[in-house]
């Protein structure tokens, strides 16, 4: 289809008396790819973000309304759609092709269960980042996406954006400067003062970073597993349990501690 467009009479209206060969087309596509305007999906398909539909996907509203979302804003003096298009091309392996439009897209990492809707609203790039895995915080994915965006706006020679986190609590919203949060965290602070909420707010809550809780939960499980094994040793000595009964013994102990435990056959 691309080749047909190049050799059509319509294309010669722009530059008359010019014809293109397959080799010319491959050269043109290579230039387009180098500028981050498209990528080859497979041998027969080329993806052009600028040719996506204008209408946004319903996921844009869904992510904006979620309570467990990390909302990040990058406000530019001037923001061309090409910045987002280059992001789509650079991170095409994470692109949810079922939810992509000219000014927005959903990105998803199945292995880590991290996802994000990135969209343009006037001169603001909005990133709604979510994690469905306690071992990977939303901020982890935000750092990766921001690194890509930073690289792109520098390549496009845009002015440095103003970056902030939008923190929502009890239907109230307030902004925290992202660089200030990171600096405070690196200095060992665990909370920052919010004028909007008139109190100290944990940095981990603002960044939706549950790693500390996940680490505590993991350590707690290790301790309780050790206790289960000690109890098992005592029981084996007194009752002489076989392997199956020993497994049930550990399983029952963990269930008493509030864990959901299934046998391996499940």
Q: Are 78 and 158 in contact (CB under 8 A)?
A: yes
d(CA 206, CA 168): 9
d(CA 193, CA 176): 10
Report yes or no on whether pTM surpasses 0.85.
no
Q: Are 74 and 149 in contact (CB under 8 A)?
A: yes
Q: Are 39 and 85 in contact (CB under 8 A)?
A: no
- The residue written with tokens 């530019």 in the block is 76
> Is the four-CA dihedral 63, 65, 69, 73 of positive or negative sign?
positive
Kindly state the DSSP code that residue 58 receives in the 8-state scheme.
Answer: T
Q: What is the pLDDT along the chain (266 residues), one digit of tens a residue?
A: 888 777 777 766 767 777 788 888 889 889 988 888 888 888 888 899 998 999 989 999 999 988 889 999 999 999 999 999 999 999 999 999 999 999 999 999 998 899 999 999 999 999 999 998 877 888 889 999 999 999 999 999 999 999 999 988 777 888 899 988 888 888 888 888 888 878 888 888 888 875 555 555 667 778 888 888 887 787 776 666 777 777 888 888 787 877 777 765 44
Encoding tokens for residue 73? 């804003």
d(CA 42, CA 46): 7
Q: Are 19 and 7 in contact (CB under 8 A)?
A: yes
């Amino acid at each position: 289809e691309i080749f047909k467009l190049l050799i059509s009479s319509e294309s010669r209206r722009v530059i008359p008396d010019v014809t293109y060969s397959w080799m010319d087309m491959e050269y043109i596509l290579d230039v387009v790819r180098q500028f981050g305007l498209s990528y080859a999906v497979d041998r027969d398909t080329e993806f052009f973000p600028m040719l996506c539909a204008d209408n946004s996907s319903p996921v844009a509203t869904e992510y904006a309304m979620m309570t467990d979302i990390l909302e990040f804003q990058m406000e530019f003096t001037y923001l061309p759609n090409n910045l987002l298009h280059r992001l789509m091309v650079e991170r095409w392996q994470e692109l949810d092709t079922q939810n992509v439009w000219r000014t927005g897209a959903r990105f998803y990492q199945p292995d880590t269960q991290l996802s994000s809707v990135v969209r343009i609203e006037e001169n603001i790039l909005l990133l709604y980042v979510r994690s469905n895995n306690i071992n990977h915080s939303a901020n982890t994915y935000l750092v990766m996406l921001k690194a890509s965006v930073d690289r792109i706006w520098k390549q496009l020679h845009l002015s440095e954006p103003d970056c902030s986190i939008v923190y929502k609590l009890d239907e109230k919203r307030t902004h925290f400067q992202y660089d200030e949060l990171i600096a405070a965290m690196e200095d060992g602070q665990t909370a920052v003062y919010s004028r909007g909420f008139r109190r100290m707010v944990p940095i981990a809550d603002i960044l939706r970073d549950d790693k500390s809780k996940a680490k505590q939960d993991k350590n707690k499980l290790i301790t309780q597993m050790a206790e289960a094994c000690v109890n098992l040793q005592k029981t084996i000595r007194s009752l002489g349990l076989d392997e199956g009964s020993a497994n049930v013994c550990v399983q029952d102990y963990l269930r008493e501690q509030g864990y959901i435990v299934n046998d391996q056959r499940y």
